[in-house]
Structure formats: structure tokens, C-alpha cells
Amino acid sequence: MLPVVEVGFESVGRAGDLVVRWQALVVGLGVLVALLGAAWLSRVAMARRGDGDPLR
């Protein structure tokens, strides 16, 4: 019975590692998209206010 339980936990551990890697990838991409979106929105807001270009 114990070897079956150990093998079960081992296979779950491998699947868990894969899930954690996918979650880390998705979270990383989400953070990147959020940062790019925030930068773009702030740039659009500054352009609408007229102070987006410091040379003007």
C-alpha cells in the first residue's frame, strides 16, 4: 500500500510542478500586460491633457 501512495504523491508532485510553472507564466504575463497597459493609459491621459510632450 505504501509504494502506491508514494508513487501517487510523486505523480501529483510532478503535475503540481507543471501547474505551478504554468501559473507563474500566466501571472508573469499578466503583470507584464498590466504594466504595459498602465503605461499606455498614463501616456494617453497625458496626451489628452496636453503635457505628454516635454518639448512643447
The answer to whether the CB of 46 falls within 8 A of the CB of 52 is yes
- Please list, in sequence order, all residues whose beta carbon lies within 8 angstroms of the beta carbon of residue 47, skipping any fewer than 6 positions away: 53
C-alpha to C-alpha distance for 40 and 34, rounded to whole angstroms: 10
Looking at residue 51, its pLDDT comes to 63
> Tens-digit pLDDT profile for the chain (56 aa)?
444 445 545 555 667 778 888 899 999 999 999 999 999 998 888 877 776 555 54
